[in-house]
Amino acid sequence: MTLGDLLRDAVERYPAHTALIHESRTWTYGEFEGAVRALGHHLRGLGIGKGDHVALMLPNCPEFVIAYFAIVNLGAVAVTLNAQSTAHELKHLLGDSDALAFITTAPAARRYEEIRDVVPACRHLLVANGPDSPFGRILAGEAPALESPEIAPDDPAVMIYTSGLTGKPLGAMLTHRNLYTQSALLRDIYGGTENSRSLAIIPLFHSFGAVVNMLAAMRTGAGIVLMERFTLDGIFQTIARERITYLAAVPRLFLGMLFHEGAEKYDVSSLEFCITGGSAMPPEFIPLFEDKFKVILREGYGLTEASPVCSVVRRGKMQKVGSIGTVIPGAEAKIFDEDDREVPRGVEGELVIRGENVMKGYYKAPEATAQVLRNGWLHTSDLAKMDEDDYIYITGRKKRMIITSGFNVYPREVEIAIELHPAVAKARIESKPDLIRGEIVKAFIQRRPDAALDDKEIMKHCRTYLSSYKVPREVEFVNALEEKDD
């Protein structure tokens, strides 16, 4: 089965059901599929076909969902990029991905114009700017059925960039099989139905957001409420107005809801369950959230290379303190030692995953792929233990990585960007614990002799090169930095 089959099945069973809600606009599954057909024909007219790559950099809007399915229906690969990506980051992402076309917003298109001369293969720019834009008129046009090429389940469907230890992001290639099997999790583990309604807050370019809030909802014929920008009051209002039944987000959002003054004035009784992932949820706050909002909150774990969900605490099962639950159906989890041998229960080692959710590999990076995919097992680089009931507990990390508000930040990438500043001799990035974000990025910087440099200048410099979540929130200047093994 493919992602095209997923959409066709939803349209056949639920043509008049609400598929997308965005601000004041609503699309049924039938209307949504019509827009997918229209854009698919336009992309085919540009010469996009099976195996080609199309970069997609949009917020949580209908155009993202429509473009995503139009691309994969052609047998092409949707390269979903962080909407915060700077021109400096786009230079690598568009060049490395071999994208032939770039779909984005008008403000982001200006970033593309800055670097288009160095990404000559990416020759088509489509600006999605609402119903009155040329893109909007494409979607509104009548289009005949879109014939898809023969697509195999193990053909690549989506490429998502995840930061690498060397400082250059790597494109994880996710197949139709990877994502189709993940789309069943909401139905099979949490009992999602066509009457469910998702609130898509976490970005759809993120693997967690795409699977839990988009693909899983469409697999059941559920409705998806899209939010590009939000406040906590706006989230509560939307839950009440749209009768949201489930919310999947990072811990930062659930903690914000828990501590929000005035939360009690909103009716959230439609919520049936909440799922947190992306980073660790402080376990002491889970029962407080459940008691305050009278809804279950369960924790899960995943990584981009696993499409992303690996484990979750299931509905109706015990939430063990500090656990990320048990492995999902269709996958296996083990704990290995340094020699890739399984360790006994209760002993710490590296968490490894095997199953239909594991990626095909990193794009054009065979050595990096071989490092993480060994003997059929995906090596997560997370340290963990497993108890006698198969519950998994993350205990640490083998590699230098910071998880802030659900986003992975590899220190070396930030260090390289900071060291581009002429007044910086050396930089070292470390994580600092933070209740709301889990961790924040902190920079230790050694200035060049006689250089004048303050934290504001560093922040400004970083924002030129890095997405905002990678920019250090704290800067400390030091006289010298020692070399450390990574």
Stretch 21-45: mean pLDDT, rounded? Answer: 95
**What residues form DSSP beta bridges with 174?**
158
* pLDDT tens digits, one per residue of 35-49: 999 999 999 999 999
pLDDT classification of 148: cutoffs 50, 70, 90? confident
pLDDT classification of 311: cutoffs 50, 70, 90? very high
Cβ atoms of 20 and 27 within 8 Å: the answer is yes
3-state SS assignment for residue 366: helix
* pLDDT tens digits, one per residue of 404-461: 998 989 999 999 999 999 999 999 999 999 999 999 999 999 999 988 899 999 999 9
**Lowest mean per-residue pLDDT among 122-126, 138-142, 178-182, 235-239:** 138-142
**What residues form DSSP beta bridges with 158?**
78, 174
3-state SS assignment for residue 62: helix
3-state SS assignment for residue 245: coil
Q: What is the DSSP secondary structure assignment for residue 49, as one 8-state letter? A: -
Strand order in the sheet with 156-162: 124-127, 99-104, 53-57, 77-80, 156-162, 170-175, 361-362
**What is the rounded distance in angstroms from the CA atom of residue 156 to the CA atom of residue 471?**
32
pLDDT over 70 (residue 130): no
pLDDT classification of 144: cutoffs 50, 70, 90? confident
- CATH architecture of the domain with residue range 402-478: 2-Layer Sandwich (3.30)
251-259 and 232-242 helices cross at what angle (nearest 10)? 90
Domain boundaries, the chain: 402-478
CA distances from 114 to 104, 111, 122, 127 (A): 14, 5, 13, 15
> What pLDDT, on the 0 to 100 scale, is given for residue 486?
57
**Lowest mean per-residue pLDDT among 146-150, 251-255, 469-473:** 146-150
Cβ atoms of 324 and 311 within 8 Å: the answer is yes
pLDDT classification of 336: cutoffs 50, 70, 90? very high
pLDDT classification of 140: cutoffs 50, 70, 90? confident
> What pLDDT, on the 0 to 100 scale, is given for residue 400?
85
**What is the rounded distance in angstroms from the CA atom of residue 256 to the CA atom of residue 471?**
22
pLDDT over 90 (residue 304): yes
pLDDT over 90 (residue 315): no
Label residue 463 exposed, middle or buried (CB < 10 Å: 0-12, 13-18, 19+).
middle
Stretch 131-157: mean pLDDT, rounded? Answer: 86
Strands (E), 93-206: 99-104, 124-127, 156-162, 170-175, 197-200
**What residues form DSSP beta bridges with 478?**
446
